[in-house]
Amino acid sequence: MKCIDEVPEADWSGKRVLVRSDFNLPLDGKGGVSDLFRLTQGWKTIEYLSGRGARVICISHIGRDPGESIEPVARAMKQFGAVVFVPDVSGAMAQEAAKAMKDGEILLLENVRRDARETENDETLARELAALADIYVDDAFAAAHRPHASIAGVPKLLPHYAGLLMRDEVKAIDAARAPQNPSFAILGGAKFETKAPLIKLLLEKYDHLFITGALANDVFKARGLLVGRSLISKELPDASILNHPHLLAPVDVTVENSAGQASVKKPEGVGPDDKIVDIGPDTVALLAPCIAEAKFILWAGPTGMYEKGYLHYTQALAELISQSSGQKVIGGGDTIAAIEATGISKDGLGFLSTGGGAMLEYLLKGTLPGIEALT
153: contact with Mg ion by CB under 5 A:
no
DSSP H helices in the chain: 37-51, 71-77, 92-99, 123-130, 164-177, 192-205, 213-222, 239-242, 281-293, 312-323, 335-342, 357-365, 369-372
Peptide bond into 66 cis (omega under 30): yes
Return the closest-CA partner of residue 144 out of 293, 308, 357, 364. 357
Q: Could you give the CA distance from residue 265 to residue 244 in angstroms, rounded to a whole number? A: 24
* Contact positions with ligand 3PG (CB under 6 A) in 148-167: none
Residue 19 in the binding site for ligand 3PG (CB under 6 A): no
Kindly report the length of the chain. 375
| CB nearer ligand 3PG, residue 159 or residue 369 | 369
Residue 63: burial class (beta carbons within 10 Å; 0-12, 13-18, 19+):
middle
The piece of 142-150, 213-221, 225-233, 272-280 that touches ligand 3PG (CB under 6 A) is 142-150
Is residue 143 within the footprint of ligand 3PG (CB under 6 A)?
Answer: yes
Rounded least distance, CB 357 to Mg ion, Å: 4
From candidates 104, 267, 280, 356, binder to ligand 3PG by CB under 6 A? 356
Query: Which residue lies nearer to ligand 3PG by CB, 104 or 331?
Result: 331
Question: Of 53-72, which residues contact ligand 3PG (CB under 6 A)?
Answer: 64
Shortest gap between Cβ of 355 and Mg ion (angstroms)? Answer: 9
Binding window for Mg ion (CB under 5 A); candidates: 35-43, 73-81, 308-316, 353-361: 353-361
What sign results for the dihedral spanned by CA atoms 128, 38, 300, 68?
Answer: negative
How big is the chain by its Cα radius of gyration, in Å?
22
Decide if residue 146 touches ligand 3PG (CB under 6 A): yes
Q: Pick the piece of the chain touching ligand 3PG (CB under 6 A) from 139-147, 267-275, 278-286, 313-321.
A: 139-147
Work out whether 142 is an interface residue with ligand 3PG (CB under 6 A).
yes
Q: Specify the residue, 292 or 364, whose C-beta has the smaller distance to Mg ion.
A: 364
Q: How far is CA 332 from CA 29, 87, 223, in A?
A: 24, 31, 27
Tell me which of 315, 356, 370, 371 binds Mg ion, using CB under 5 A.
356
Q: What is the four-CA torsion angle of 188, 190, 193, 196, rounded to 10 degrees?
A: 0
Residue nearest to Mg ion (CB): 357
Contact call for residue 41 and ligand 3PG (CB under 6 A): no
Residues at the contact surface with Mg ion, assessed by CB under 5 A: 356-357
